[in-house]
Amino acid sequence: MAIKKVIRSECMNCCQSHAGNAVYGLGFVGSAVYYISTATGFWMGVLGFLKAIVWPAFLVFELLKYLGM
């Protein structure tokens, strides 16, 4: 009985962490497409790719700025 509970709780934690990775991955792809499509040159495209990697930081920064914190 105790073994089933341990396995079940480990599975639930595993599934929840993968869902967050999927959201980050979709956000990465979407932001990379946006930044690269709006780039005016090669190096701006490279910069856009780097921005796409850290898009959650931009999101949190803009949210905190909007909230006035």
Any domain includes 5:
no
pLDDT for the residue 69: 78
Report the alpha-carbon distance of residue 31 to residue 13 in Å, rounded: 27
Range of the domain at 59: 24-69
Flag whether pLDDT at 4 surpasses 80: no
Q: Using a pLDDT cut of 90, give the percent of the chain over it.
A: 41
Any domain includes 60:
yes
Cα-flanking dihedrals φ and ψ of residue 14, to 5°? -65, -45
Q: Using a pLDDT cut of 70, give the percent of the chain over it.
A: 75
Any domain includes 11:
no
pTM of the entire structure? 0.60
Total domains in the chain come to 1
Any domain includes 45:
yes
Any domain includes 51:
yes
Any domain includes 59:
yes
Cβ contact 42:49 at 8 Å: no
Predicted confidence (pLDDT) per residue in 23-53, tens digit: 888 888 998 999 999 999 999 999 999 999 9
Any domain includes 44:
yes
How many C-beta atoms lie closer than 10 Å to residue 52's C-beta?
19
| Closest to 31 in 3D by CA, of 44, 50, 18, 12 | 50
